[in-house]
Structure 1
Amino acid sequence: MTVTRMIPVGQIDRAPVPASPQFDPMSFTELAEAVADLGKRITVRREATGRYRLVMGESQYAAAHASRAHLIEATVLNVPSDPRALRLLRAVAGKVDTGEISPLEEAAMFRRLTEAGYLPYEIAEECGKFPTYIRWRIELLDLVPAGQTALSKGRLPLGLAWYVSRLPAPQQEPFLNRWLRGEFPGAPQAEYAARTLQPAT
């Protein structure tokens, strides 16, 4: 499935090798749409990294890059076509910021959308959020069950919950116990302590 949308120029990468007659894995339908659009907009392919790979429209891309344009109109290939996933995306977008779903419910829905093929950028665009917001929410699902329970019951602040989720699973429950026993003066101090325990990346 293809869509036309405005995407950030900075998220587009040129192909690593010059174009060749080998069009696979593009379908003939995708190729026909790309050729028909050439001159009006560039064509890109979505990648699992969340970035886009330039397929056609080198001159348009170069002009946008030279002018330091932030956004460029593009035909985007390999967008999820499952209508159920699209309905879910729109339903989740309608609930975000209404307070009708909890952060963990939101995280579960965002993860389900990524499993259906949507990229964080696409989810964020539909929900009016930044891609980092989508990733941070999904990462809450790395909390051990005790952490998820504490968050759901309001015993663990959301910001601290994210920092705890970045700890290795064996360290999370001991840290949570310290927080619940009141060993930290407040959430900022606990967040700092959690950051110091995070593995180096």
Structure 2
Amino acid sequence: MASRKALGRGLGAFFPDYKEEGEAEAPPKEKDQAEGEQSSSTYIEPEKRVNIVLDIPVGDIRPNPHQPRKEFKEESLEELAQSIKKHGLIQPITVRYIGDKRFELISGERRLRASKLAGIDEIPSYIREVNDEDIISYALIENIQREDLNPIEIAMGYERLIEECDYTQAEVAEKVGKNRTTITNMLRLLNLPPFIQKALRDDSISMGHARALINIEDPEVQEEIFEKAIENGYSVRQIEEAVRQIGKKKKQKSKDKKKDENRAFYNEISNRLRRKFSTKVNIKPKKDGGEIRIEYYTDEDLDRLLELFESM
């Protein structure tokens, strides 16, 4: 392969007993060759094979079990595969050596999949030293920093860093180069119902739409506005306005409820006084205090009320 020649070394330089496909056995050394003469390829212990790029057979690389990205668009993979066929893979993937001439992918799954689609046998791979404990955070952080992850995948990556790596939101923010508010807002996306998360994954709605929908507490109202947004192509501002209108209605409903409760209370007091005085009594509440209005219809009725007050 051209890319292999450019890199200068395949696995044979580091595994003396590694016979690559199509490679003939090396001829025996001549008897008169100097005993101390060294091979042109220097053997390096497996644990020291780090921070170098090798051409590694794709069959010797196992997937990353901690890959945060779950969806790969077939059309995009096919386009990348065609590019790799024509120009080769420009950016190496990142792997770690796990023993027995096997490697584990750290980042670059899309490039690895596209290379397989392109029929590439070997792929340039940058080898890093990463232990089992760190590979989760390393893989998550590298993938989160990619631009082609959808918001839900990024949010799930943040959540895994918190749950599996015991990071705080502030530590996640520092690791991925974001502010803490951004991390908090992204994590809130995971509180959305599955159908809205799916729409966000599929690019049916934007992050702005999702953030506006998060503010709707009533699940039924949230679903109703979501469906209207999809059907009518609501802009983010239209959803925000719909949310504001719901807030106004709830606020007015709360006020009306309080008025109803107060009205019931004052009506009860009015009824008690009416029974006590045997006449019509109205209570009119004000901002501070209020007034009680007792009606009388004749002078005799007034005298009766006065006598009643004096006897209390």
Where does residue 134 of structure 1 map in the other structure? 183
Alignment root-mean-square deviation, CA: 2.5
The residue correspondences of 1:100-139 to structure 2 (distance < 5 A) are 100-116=148-164, 117-139=166-188
Q: Specify which of 225, 239, 248 is matched with residue 175 of structure 1.
A: 225
Higher Rg of the two aligned structures = 2
Retained in 1: the 8 A contact 2:173–2:179?
yes
Post-superposition Cα deviations, 1:103-141, rounded to whole Å, max 9, x if no partner, equal 101111211222232111100100000111111111111
Give the counterpart letter for 2:206 in structure 1: P
Where does residue 4 of structure 1 map in the other structure? none
Change (3 A) 1:178 1:161: same
Post-superposition Cα deviations, 1:21-51, rounded to whole Å, max 9, x if no partner, equal xxxxxxxxxxxxxxxxxxxxxxxxxxxxxxx
SS at match of 2:173: helix
Equivalent-residue separation in structure 1 for 2:198 and 2:133 (angstroms):
28
Where does residue 87 of structure 1 map in the other structure? 135
Give the counterpart letter for 2:226 in structure 1: L
Equivalent-residue separation in structure 1 for 2:210 and 2:184 (angstroms):
14
What is the Cα deviation at residue 84 of structure 1?
5.4
Give the counterpart letter for 1:91 in structure 2: A
Deviates more, 1:186-195 or 1:126-135: 186-195
Equivalent-residue separation in structure 2 for 1:141 and 1:96 (angstroms):
16
Question: How much identity, in percent, do the aligned residues show?
Answer: 26
Equivalent-residue separation in structure 1 for 2:233 and 2:147 (angstroms):
30
SS at match of 1:98: coil
SS at match of 2:232: coil
SS at match of 2:154: helix
Give the counterpart letter for 1:174 in structure 2: E
Change (3 A) 1:177 1:84: farther
Equivalent-residue separation in structure 2 for 1:97 and 1:149 (angstroms):
21
Equivalent-residue separation in structure 2 for 1:85 and 1:107 (angstroms):
21
What is the Cα deviation at residue 195 of structure 1?
4.9
Equivalent-residue separation in structure 1 for 2:184 and 2:238 (angstroms):
24
Equivalent-residue separation in structure 2 for 1:95 and 1:183 (angstroms):
31
> What TM-score results when the alignment is normalised by the length of structure 1?
0.51
> What TM-score results when the alignment is normalised by the length of structure 2?
0.34
The residue correspondences of 1:45-56 to structure 2 (distance < 5 A) are none
Post-superposition Cα deviations, 1:71-97, rounded to whole Å, max 9, x if no partner, equal xxxxxxxxxxxx756432222221234
Post-superposition Cα deviations, 1:46-76, rounded to whole Å, max 9, x if no partner, equal xxxxxxxxxxxxxxxxxxxxxxxxxxxxxxx
Retained in 1: the 8 A contact 2:140–2:161?
no
Equivalent-residue separation in structure 2 for 1:156 and 1:100 (angstroms):
16
Where does residue 25 of structure 2 map in the other structure? none
Equivalent-residue separation in structure 2 for 1:139 and 1:160 (angstroms):
13
Deviates more, 1:167-176 or 1:143-152: 167-176
